[in-house]
């Protein structure tokens, strides 16, 4: 296929309609028909990337192989498509402006007045076309964050209008995602908000080709006709997107509604081959028909917002399906845990995951949770800060190093078992300066993680400033906390284990970023399996 085709996804009426899931579902269907597809997210906020955002603002920060700190929607793209994304897949207004201002400082605009149109819009268009021009994809789906009509979305909408005109008919289309609310007093679904948001889009010179309508109730044929007539689209192009019990059902629902077929028609692309969703359906089958159930505690401090730990929760779904187990994740606020209440709060858990995080708040609760898992033989997985807490717990409670800590939390600790990486010591700028992205790791041959991965050399994604302090390695190892994964170049410790415990692993990296439907992450698969085995063992012991 020579001409790369573009699909733009805009949102109307309200935010949080799930543009990312619709974009990822369509991409999945197109990929399953053999089209090389990728997705891009344009975010209209002024942060250069979401790396500096508190998780309460925008949920988890997702990290790509190339070390980009990105929007969590990129996680959905990777999980659905099993294709790696990169910095080019997520662009914010801040990054656009930064790049235009840098060009201005270099004199690249030759004395011209630099303006939103054309300079900002040109930069947006370039960023959209970078992926298309790479030659790696047949179809690019570009999701525009925010809602049409927002002040900050205007340059993006104008850039899309220009691109559609430049690309020409059948090379670019617009899918508009809207809400069709149900008014219980009237007992009716209402189309007016959709009509208004389509009109707002029209005022910017863009005609929606396809409407995807989020709804809590079935949209009748009559309402589809009404939407088609008043929003100026064909009836087949009015797609219902009803609430789903799992996001992984959405591709199937979109296929039934014919979203992929209409999109291909509009792009003048062949649509004869049916999508091959065999593997996807098999996963759904396993996900929906578990043979067992386990309860895993997710100990974190951003638990009020489910999106803060999105990739971890999704990794458990993939690993659960792989093991045919329903993984019930119980979110537990680490700030509410203390030595006194820990037994009560963690009662009934079959395994414990201590989550990543930053700063002092809630860490003592995390340390208590590690102790609980270690002492009660509960399978344990510590991720990034969770791994660091495991080291601190062991140093304090087994080696008697009172006050052991990470220098992030206590710069004057007498036992800095976790300390700042050498190259981080001179860092003053917070954005994009952590140890980020994919790094190689070598695993010890006789380790649990070697068995879990079935490989000795792995690569995993990172996002941290602090590290295991090698000065304490020997002491910790002799007492039973053993480093079993290292960066082959620097010797930094990446993995720790407690071999005397049934399953206790801490990793400095983030395995959750790499788990996909097609490739559930081995660490999560191994952890869930261990949780199940241990649960059955303890049950048998209590019966004996
Ligand atoms: N705050 C810790 C560090 O910077 C852990 C980071 C994380 O959990 N992602 O090293």
A 10 A CB-CB count for 300 gives 28
pLDDT tens per residue across all 544 residues of the chain: 568 999 999 999 888 889 999 999 999 999 999 999 999 999 999 988 888 888 888 889 999 999 999 999 999 999 999 999 999 999 999 999 999 999 999 999 999 999 999 999 999 999 999 999 989 999 999 999 889 999 999 999 999 999 999 999 999 999 999 999 999 998 899 999 999 999 999 999 999 999 999 999 999 999 999 999 999 999 999 999 999 999 999 999 999 999 999 999 999 999 988 999 999 999 999 999 999 999 999 999 988 888 999 999 999 999 999 999 999 999 999 999 999 999 999 999 999 999 999 988 999 999 999 999 999 999 999 999 999 999 999 999 999 999 999 999 999 999 999 998 777 777 777 777 888 999 999 999 999 999 999 999 999 999 999 999 999 999 999 999 999 999 999 999 999 999 999 999 999 999 999 999 999 999 999 999 999 999 998 888 887 7
Give the total residue count for the chain. Answer: 544
Q: Which phi and psi angles does 367 have, rounded to 5°?
A: -65, -40
CB 251 within 8 A of CB 29: yes
Which atom of ligand 1 is nearest to 356's Cα? 8
The strand ranges marked E within 33-114 are: 37-43, 62-63, 69-70, 90-92
Which numbered atom of ligand 1 lies nearest the CA of 386? 8
Positions of E strands within 394-519: 405-406, 416-420, 435-443, 457-464, 466-468, 482-486, 493-497, 504-507
Known catalytic membership, residue 441: no
- pTM for the model: 0.94
Question: Which of 314, 494, 512, 521 does the annotation list as catalytic?
Answer: 512
Residue identified by tokens 């067992």 is 292
175/164 Cα distance (integer angstroms): 13
Does residue 369's CB lie within 6 angstroms of at least one atom of ligand 1?
Answer: no
Is 512 labeled as catalytic in the residue annotation?
A: yes
317 to each of 125, 147, 246, 284, how far by Cα in Å? 37, 30, 10, 10
Output the residue whose Cα is nearest ligand 1's atom 8.
356
Q: Is 120 touching ligand 1 by the criterion CB < 6 Å?
A: no
Tell me the two tokens of residue 139. 């179809």
**Which atom of ligand 1 lies closest to the CA of 418?**
10
For 216, which DSSP code?
S
Q: Is 442 among the residues known to form the active site?
A: no
Going by C-alpha positions, the residue among 380, 344, 452 that lies closest to residue 393 is: 380
Annotated active-site residue in 384, 408, 464, 467: 384
Q: Edge-to-edge, what's the strand order for the sheet holding 90-92? A: 90-92, 37-43, 139-144, 5-11, 172-179, 210-215, 238-242
| Residue 236 to residue 218: CA distance in whole angstroms | 15
Q: What angle do CA 390, 394, 397 make, to 5 degrees?
A: 130
Q: Ligand 1 pocket check: which of 464, 469, 508 to mutate, most ligand atoms within 8 Å of Cβ? A: 464
């Amino acid at each position: 296929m020579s001409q790369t085709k573009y699909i733009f996804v805009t949102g109307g009426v309200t935010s949080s309609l799930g543009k990312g899931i619709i974009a990822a579902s369509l991409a999945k269907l197109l990929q399953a028909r053999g089209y090389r597809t990728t997705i891009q997210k344009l975010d209209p906020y002024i942060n250069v990337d979401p790396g500096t955002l508190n998780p309460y603002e925008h949920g988890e920060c997702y990290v790509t192989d190339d070390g980009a700190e990105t929007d969590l929607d990129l996680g959905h793209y990777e999980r659905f498509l099993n294709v790696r994304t990169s910095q080019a897949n997520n662009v914010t207004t801040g990054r656009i402006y930064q790049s235009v201002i840098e060009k201005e400082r270099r004199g690249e605009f030759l004395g011209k007045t630099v303006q939103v149109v054309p300079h900002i819009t040109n930069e947006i268009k370039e960023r959209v076309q970078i992926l298309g021009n790479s030659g790696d994809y047949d179809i690019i789906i570009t999701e525009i964050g925010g809602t049409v009509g927002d002040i900050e979305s205007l340059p993006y909408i104008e850039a899309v209008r220009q691109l559609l005109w430049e690309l020409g008919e059948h090379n670019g289309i617009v899918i508009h995602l809207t809400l069709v609310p149900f008014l219980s007093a009237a007992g009716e679904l209402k189309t007016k908000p959709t009509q208004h948001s389509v009109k707002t889009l029209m005022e910017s010179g863009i005609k929606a080709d396809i409407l995807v309508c989020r709804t809590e109730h079935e949209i009748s044929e009559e309402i589809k006709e009404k939407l088609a007539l008043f929003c100026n689209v064909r009836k087949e192009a009015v797609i219902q997107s009803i609430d789903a019990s799992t996001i992984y059902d959405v591709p199937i629902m979109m296929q039934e509604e014919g979203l992929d077929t209409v999109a291909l028609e509009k792009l003048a692309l062949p649509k004869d081959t049916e999508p091959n969703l065999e593997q996807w359906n098999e996963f759904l089958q396993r996900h929906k028909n578990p043979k067992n159930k386990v309860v895993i505690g997710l100990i974190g401090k951003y638990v009020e917002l489910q999106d803060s730990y999105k990739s971890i929760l999704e990794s458990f779904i993939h690993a659960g399906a792989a093991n045919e187990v329903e993984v019930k994740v119980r979110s537990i606020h680490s700030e509410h845990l203390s030595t006194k209440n820990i037994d009560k709060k963690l009662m009934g858990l079959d395994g414990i995951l201590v989550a990543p995080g930053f700063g002092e708040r809630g860490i003592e609760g995390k340390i208590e949770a590690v102790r609980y898992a270690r002492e009660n033989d509960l399978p344990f997985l510590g991720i990034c800060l969770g791994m660091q807490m495991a080291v601190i717990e062991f140093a304090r409670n087994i080696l008697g190093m009172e006050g052991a800590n990470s220098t992030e939390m206590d710069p004057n600790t007498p036992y800095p078992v976790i300390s700042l990486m050498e190259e981080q010591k001179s860092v003053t700028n917070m954005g994009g300066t952590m140890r980020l992205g994919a790094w190689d790791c070598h695993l010890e041959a006789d380790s649990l993680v070697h068995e879990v991965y079935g490989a000795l050399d792995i690569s995993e994604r990172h996002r941290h400033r602090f590290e295991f302090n090698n000065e304490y390695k020997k002491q910790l190892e002799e007492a039973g906390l053993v480093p079993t994964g290292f960066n082959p170049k620097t010797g930094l410790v990446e993995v720790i284990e407690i071999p005397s415990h049934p399953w206790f692993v801490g990793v400095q990296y983030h395995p959750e970023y790499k788990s996909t439907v097609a490739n559930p992450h081995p660490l999560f698969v191994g952890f869930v399996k261990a949780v199940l085995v241990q649960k059955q063992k303890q049950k048998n012991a209590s019966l004996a």
